[in-house]
């Protein structure tokens, strides 16, 4: 049996309709807009552990929903996470997913590479082009505080990030989109 015969649902005896439940369109929590009740456990489940970088992403995702007056999992926002493309920095993307309900597979969240902590930021705007562009910029001092933590410090730094005043962790800048960008 060749490749096309093995992977053709009709030849393999599978129906082309989607099964009920999680595999159905809108069948899982991320597609139905059901925010996890326990975000900490959800980060741990999805990412494997909770660290300050994914908690930072979660906080930015939550702030984006508030600032754009939208709900979790609606996929209305376009989020670009500018980080060095290595861990722990890229861990911020998993926090953004849990915080906003957006998904990389839906192209609501993308990573873009930067070469320095000074350039880390998250750029967010509505997919329909209305409203401002928000730049969520973590404070340099905070990034230095969580850069290269020891494994035994992860929980302490994560809990600290979750309880700090938002203004001590990151700033929000509003940028008006030009007419050609809309």
Note the pLDDT of residue 16.
29
Region 173-180: mean pLDDT is 80
* Domain spans of the chain, in order of start: 38-181
d(CA 60, CA 93): 10
Closest C-alpha to 143, from 88, 94, 99, 63: 88
Given the candidates 3.30.1600.10, 3.40.640.10, 3.40.50.720, 3.30.1330.130, the CATH classification of the domain at 38-181 is 3.30.1330.130
Residue 4: pLDDT band (50, 70, 90) is very low
d(CA 41, CA 58): 12
Note the pLDDT of residue 113.
97
Give the pTM: 0.80
């Amino acid at each position: 049996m060749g490749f096309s015969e093995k992977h053709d649902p009709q030849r393999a005896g599978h129906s082309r309709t989607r099964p009920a439940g999680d595999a159905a369109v809108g069948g899982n929590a991320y597609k139905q807009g059901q925010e996890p009740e326990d975000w900490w456990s959800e980060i741990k489940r999805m990412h494997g552990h909770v660290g300050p970088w994914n908690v930072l992403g979660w906080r930015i995702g939550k702030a984006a929903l508030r600032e754009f007056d939208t709900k979790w999992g609606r996929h209305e926002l376009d989020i670009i996470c500018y980080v060095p493309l290595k861990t722990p920095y890229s861990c911020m993307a998993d926090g953004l997913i849990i915080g906003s309900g957006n998904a990389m597979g839906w192209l609501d969240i993308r990573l873009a590479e930067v070469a320095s902590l000074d350039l880390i930021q998250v750029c967010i705007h509505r997919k329909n082009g209305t409203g401002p562009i928000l730049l969520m910029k973590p404070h340099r001092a905070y990034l230095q505080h969580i850069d290269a933590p020891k494994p035994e410090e992860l929980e302490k730094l994560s809990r600290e990030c979750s309880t700090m005043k938002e203004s001590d962790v990151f700033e929000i800048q509003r940028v008006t989109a030009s007419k050609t960008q809309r």
